[in-house]
Amino acid sequence: MKTKSRDVVQMSRLTSDRALSGHAQVSRALGAEILAGVHPPGANLPGEADLLARFQISRTVLREVLKTLSAKGLIASKTRVGTRVLDPSHWNFFDSEILAWKVGLGLDADFRTNLTEIRQAIEPLAAELAAGRCAKAQVRALRERVDAMRSLRHDRQTFAEADLQFHLAIGQASGNPLIRSIGGVIEAALVASFSLSSPTDDPELQAATVAKHEAIVDAIEAGNPAAAREAMLAVIEAGVRRAETSIKPKAALRASVSRRGQGTSL
């Protein structure tokens, strides 16, 4: 019998365990703290002496770290003011590292909704464009991606990776380099979805999910942009429903435990 993983899905680009440089480690630590609200918008980061003592790095490395965080819209440094955390409206959530740090902290309901909305805006368009521009070799590549999703040997991790490769291939087939650049957003959305519930939890659900992806390729190969758009929307919405179905019982259980705890304390 196949063992189903219930662990948090880790995608290669967002949650890599590869060794990080000192610069990357400090950037991730401070960036994640800013995203988590440890250093709230409008507040100053700790001073240079405190950061050097905490991380045991050189001034040169610290300057590079602050440049990195500034380029991502997280902070701004001013003479006699210090290094201040900017309002979230400045944060670049299309940046793959910011998305990775956000995934590491856990994706709340509001952010999952944000990810869904951007996918609904971009991915159906990508499928529509692919239906008008996709070469035969790209169609074959998409078929191969779908076939890779069929295996009943998948766990959550491997299925999520196969699904991601399919969606990235759609972006490639769209012929629009700007659409291809949102791969990190798609990846974060799939991490959020498959960490809550995966098609691999049920063979019938997995088969239905694969069929929905295959319908996208069918529409692209037929040169039917409208059908490709609708098929992609159906895939995204099915993922949202699956995640919501998983969340509701967990939320009800937490509420029940909370009520029992309150009753005991009376």
On the question of pLDDT at 138 being above 70, the answer is yes
**Residue 58: C-alpha distances to residues 48, 51, 113 (Å):** 10, 10, 40
Instruction: Say which residue, 182 or 123, is predicted with more confidence.
Output: 123
Q: Are residues 118 and 247 in the same domain?
A: yes
Specify the pLDDT at position 9.
58
Q: Are 243 and 193 in contact (CB under 8 A)?
A: yes
**pLDDT band at residue 253, thresholds of 50, 70 and 90?**
very low
Confidence band (pLDDT; 50, 70, 90) for 246?
confident
Which pLDDT does position 20 carry in this prediction? 59
Check whether residue 63 and residue 142 sit in a common domain.
no
Q: Are residues 156 and 9 in contact, defined by beta-carbon separation less than 8 angstroms?
A: yes
Per the CB < 8 A criterion, the answer to whether 2 and 159 are in contact is no
pLDDT at 260: 56
pLDDT score for 6: 42
In this prediction, residues 20-31 reach a mean pLDDT of: 89
Which whole number is the average pLDDT over 81-100?
93
In this structure, the answer to whether residues 86 and 119 fall within a common structural domain is: no
For 48, the token pair is 């240079």
In a domain, residue 261? The reply is: no
Q: Tell how many helices (H) and how many strands (E) occur in the chain.
A: 11, 2
Of the listed ranges 130-139, 177-186, 219-228, 247-256, the least confidently predicted one is 247-256
Is 263 a domain residue?
no
The total number of structural domains in the chain stands at: 2
Lowest-pLDDT choice from 174-183, 212-221, 232-241: 174-183
Q: Looking at residue 200, which CATH number applies to its domain? A: 1.20.120.530
Is residue 133 pLDDT above 60, yes or no? yes
Q: Quick one: 134 and 236 in the same domain? A: yes
DSSP per-residue string spanning 59-83: HHHHHHHHHHHHHTTSEEEETTTEE
Q: Which has the minimum average pLDDT: 107-121, 122-136, 226-240?
A: 107-121
Q: Indicate whether 197 pLDDT > 70.
A: yes
pLDDT of residue 97: 92
Domain assignment of residue 84, yes or no: yes
Q: pTM value?
A: 0.81
Q: What is the pLDDT of residues 105-116, one digit of tens each?
A: 988 889 999 999
Residue 31 resides in a domain: yes
Please tell me the predicted confidence (pLDDT) of residue 261: 56
Tell me the three state secondary structure of residue 196.
helix
More confident residue, 253 or 192: 192
Q: Which of 129-133, 195-199, 208-212, 231-235 has the lowest mean pLDDT?
A: 195-199
Examine the domain organization and report whether 142 and 67 are in the same domain. Answer: no
- Please check whether residue 9 lies inside any domain of the structure: no
∠132-138-139 over CA atoms, to 5°?
75
Structural domain containing residue 148: 107-251
CB 128 within 8 A of CB 170: no
Q: Which of 56, 90, 124 is where one domain is finished? A: 90
In a domain, 10, yes or no: no
223 falls within a domain: yes
CA proximity to 49, closest of 59, 34, 61, 38: 59
